[in-house]
Amino acid sequence: MMDGISPMLSRKHDLTIYSITDETLPDQEIRNGIQYIRFPKETYVKEVKRSLKAHAYDVVHVFNRPKNIALYKEASPSSRFVVSLHNEMFEEKKISDTEAQLCVQYVHKLTTVSKYIKSTITRRVPAAEDKTEAIYSGFDPNSYYPIWTSRGMNIRNQLRTQYGVQDKKVILFVGRLSVKKGPHLLIQAMSRVLENHPDAVLVIVGGKWFSDNTIDGYGKWLLKLAKPYGNKIIFTKFVPANEIQNYFSMGDVFVCSSQWQEPLARVHYEAMAAGVPVITTDRGGNAEVIRHMWNGYIVRDYTSSDSFAEAIHYMLTNKEEAGEMASRGRQMVNDFYTFEHVADRLDKIYMEAYNSEPTPLSNVTVSKYKRIKQRGR
């Protein structure tokens, strides 16, 4: 997301972006007025601390590493800190009590990709309530072409021809092939779906992992479940990131069958941007951007294949209503979930932080805490 929002933020702020080294990129460069500094993964935290000591940054924005906030604050006491989280980084196995407390104490603001992720922070550290704000993800909806546009329809027709589903009702799953993503439930739902919609096809887009087409035990089970359905279930395998937006245009309905407490899956924004009716589960933050029967359908009984079959049947049967939901979804994306919206909210947070006094260092530092722990062993 930083690539999307940094050009907008750089119009008002002098940006320096630290990241991990990449063999295709220089260790340091200035591009479009933004300074990029890259450190090896193995020594990243150490190098960032050293660099923070050498520079006087007004605001330091840390992404998804709350346990490092105290270390960075010790290196740069005069800086104000912001941390953004896109998953459950306040779990006990990921951050100690002391690190969590110091993070909340030192930051001006914590931002999260959903209210659900905010709740995982405030349950652990109640004092974080007033400092934590959900800022939903941003992206470029203009790279997605709704199926009611001529370009969207062309993309739709090309892909449907490629997979031999030109005249079919396409049920679309996009995501990793893992138990917690739940594609097995959609395969199991197909027997009921086909009773009412014999022309339906389930297209499963994705592999075991990003750019990984190897088949593990779960993948073999999916293939076994799908075998009786023949060409009614299609696996595309891994699709490159720069092509994935086109695949949403294939669908008559998109289904997110997540079983785990999803922070808030990006596929919801993508499906809405492509103008495809959405079905999702009431897990984690998913239901925060989908309002039941307004811009999508929420499956409450998320472990039941029958519940998914019922939702799919409803959307395929009530095409006009599903189309209205899809239209509202596209409008919602344009109104609330662009890079511009995220950049505007972060700009306000940066200015609030800049105009505030830096938080003083605590008597309990992470370094001191770790030394005490080691002596106690």
- pLDDT tens column, 218-259: 999 999 999 999 999 999 999 998 899 999 999 999 999 999
Residues 223 and 153 both lie in one domain: yes
Q: Which domain does 253 fall in, by range?
A: 141-336
Q: What is the pLDDT of residues 257-312, one digit of tens each?
A: 999 999 999 999 999 999 999 999 999 999 999 999 999 999 999 999 999 999 99
Residues 66 and 148 both lie in one domain: no
pLDDT at 376: 47
Residues 236 and 370 both lie in one domain: no
Q: Please count the structural domains in the chain.
A: 2
Q: What is the pLDDT of residues 172-187, one digit of tens each?
A: 999 999 999 999 999 9
Residues 286 and 165 both lie in one domain: yes
Residues 315 and 349 both lie in one domain: no
- The Cα diameter of the chain in Å comes to 70
pTM recorded for the entire structure: 0.92
User: How many CB atoms neighbour CB 127 within 10 A?
Assistant: 11
Residue 42's pLDDT band, with cuts at 50, 70 and 90, is very high
Residue 56's pLDDT band, with cuts at 50, 70 and 90, is confident
Residues 207 and 234 both lie in one domain: yes
Q: Give the position of tokens 């103008």.
A: 275
**Per-residue pLDDT for 351 more than 90?**
yes
Residues 147 and 166 both lie in one domain: yes
Going through the chain in order, the beta strands assigned E by DSSP cover: 16-20, 28-31, 34-39, 59-63, 80-85, 107-112, 132-134, 169-174, 200-205, 233-237, 253-255, 278-281, 297-299
Residues 83 and 30 both lie in one domain: yes
Residue 209's pLDDT band, with cuts at 50, 70 and 90, is low
Residues 131 and 154 both lie in one domain: no
Beta bridge partners of 134: 112
Task: Name which residue leads in pLDDT, 213 or 229.
Answer: 229
Residues 206 and 292 both lie in one domain: yes
8 A C-beta contact, residue 107 and residue 318:
no
Phi, then psi, of 216 in degrees rounded to 5? -95, -170
Share of the chain above pLDDT 90, in %: 91
CATH number at 132 reads 3.40.50.2000
